[in-house]
Structure 1
């Protein structure tokens, strides 16, 4: 059973304040039109915003349930997005793209080095010459100091959750244990639980893996700024170009 099966239905509520416009702006800074491949698209918020801007968007996610929610939203808003259920480590489509994105720390769900390398390899093959890869990941600081050992909670009228984060077995990994309480039609609360494992790697490792594959002009910034990462940066952004 997909680990997002129930989580997908409350995901948009939990991500209501996520900076989707800022992620969209990163693509617009590269080009104003063209083909975009949005990997780890979740419920499709970035995909739909890019489609609304006139991009030809293909959106990929491993979760059938997430894609179902995304498809419903695209239909409701009369937006044309191609949705594909696929593991980004085994990416295979018939097209090449001007921009490939992995936003909202989706790459952190690939928790082994070989899996990240495989993802980068498949992306490189799917980029047009001169195409751009854009992605962000949690910093090591965020994983180890802001997630591990901390509890997050929310108590709204119709949905509540408790979120505990524990250290994973590997360096830079974290296990998120989430318990959700949803109000049903009878006014009673139903509980469901999710476990999500994420892992990040240091900036130098991501950069080396990209370089080894032939990516060039690798630019690394932090926290939606133009500044280089610091020891307290929380979200690391990468831009890497395929040779033209």
Structure 2
């Protein structure tokens, strides 16, 4: 997957993303009004929007992303704000020893970009190694119904002065997976538009599968909710949230 063009356009395309709600979910789950002094590992940090919000709250945040292009954008944004968090170019399945964090987050359906159950298990185990006993792992994923009913077979489009796109979603190679074929038209300095293409693959699983894999990775599931609410997931839910705590060793 080539994020070079996509990274530069990402913030424009995600202008309406609910970063405030991810932040609120984090604080509500932790039972705090502010994140002052909390050490957070933001996995799949992308261009750093949520990371910056956490820093503003007083958290000590480390960002990790597979895309070096995304991290370049994140670094530039941090520099403009006068902050310099540690940003790490790494695969979430192979984090290694980054330290011991109070909280790990994997938001904005980043976990859905892993293609196989073994990939998801590896990511959860990898994150577990970097979370303190009784520490938290918070993440969200697409529901199965969102993949099947809201994405597969759908076409989305938007036309603006600087950027336009056409987004086709097709059934993926695996069960409960989807392939997003995105075509962008970006206005250049000469007034002409240049065309770029991206292919993004996502896959999700049942609540029961995620719960089992969390237990195997050393976490206890504290809550499973839907769509930024405290409600349990239903067949109509679009985004599923997991809040899990690292079990004490020994």
TM-score interval w.r.t. the shorter chain? over 0.9
**Count of aligned pairs between the two proteins:** 243
What aligned pairs does 1:118-197 form with structure 2 within 5 A after superposition? 118-197=122-201
Distance 1:51 1:199 in 2: 30
Q: Equivalent residue for 2:225?
A: 221
2:41 aligned with 1:42:
no
Contact kept? 1:161, 1:179, Cα under 8 Å: yes
- SS of the residue corresponding to residue 129 of structure 2 reads helix
**d(CA) in 2 for partners of 1:140 and 1:37?**
27
CA distance in 1, matches of 2:104, 2:233: 22
State the Cα distance separating 1:111 from its structure 2 match.
1.2
Measure, in 1, the Cα distance between the counterparts of 2:206 and 2:19: 25
How far apart are the structure 1 equivalents of 2:229 and 2:26? 14
State the 1:218 CA deviation. 3.1
Q: How far off its partner does 1:94 sit?
A: 3.3
The equivalent position to 1:74 in structure 2, one of 57, 78, 101, is 78
Match of 1:14 in 2: 13
- My pick for the range that moved more, 92-101 or 162-171, is 92-101
- Within the alignment, does 1:113 sit opposite 2:117 as a pair? yes
The runs of at least 4 aligned residues of structure 1 exceeding 3 Å deviation read none
TM-score with structure 1 length normalisation? 0.97
Q: Structure 2 CA distance, aligned partners of 1:94 and 1:40?
A: 15
- Structure 1: segments with no counterpart, 5+ residues: none
8 Å contact from structure 1 (residues 207, 218) kept in 2: no
Of the structure 1 ranges 21-30 and 80-89, higher mean CA displacement relative to structure 2 is found in 21-30
Distance in 1 of aligned mates of 2:7 and 2:14:
11
Change (3 A) 1:172 1:88: same
State whether structure 2 residue 102 is matched by structure 1 residue 98: yes
Superposition TM-score, scaled by structure 2 size: 0.95
CA distance in 2, matches of 1:92, 1:70: 22
Counterpart of 1:200 in structure 2 is 204
Deviates more, 1:75-84 or 1:58-67: 75-84
| Displacement of 1:203 | 0.8
Native 8 Å contact 1:27 1:99 kept in 2 = no
Report the 3-state secondary structure (helix = DSSP H, G, I; strand = E; otherwise coil) of the residue aligned with 1:21.
Answer: helix
Secondary structure of the equivalent of 1:6?
helix
> How far is 1:193 from its partner?
0.2
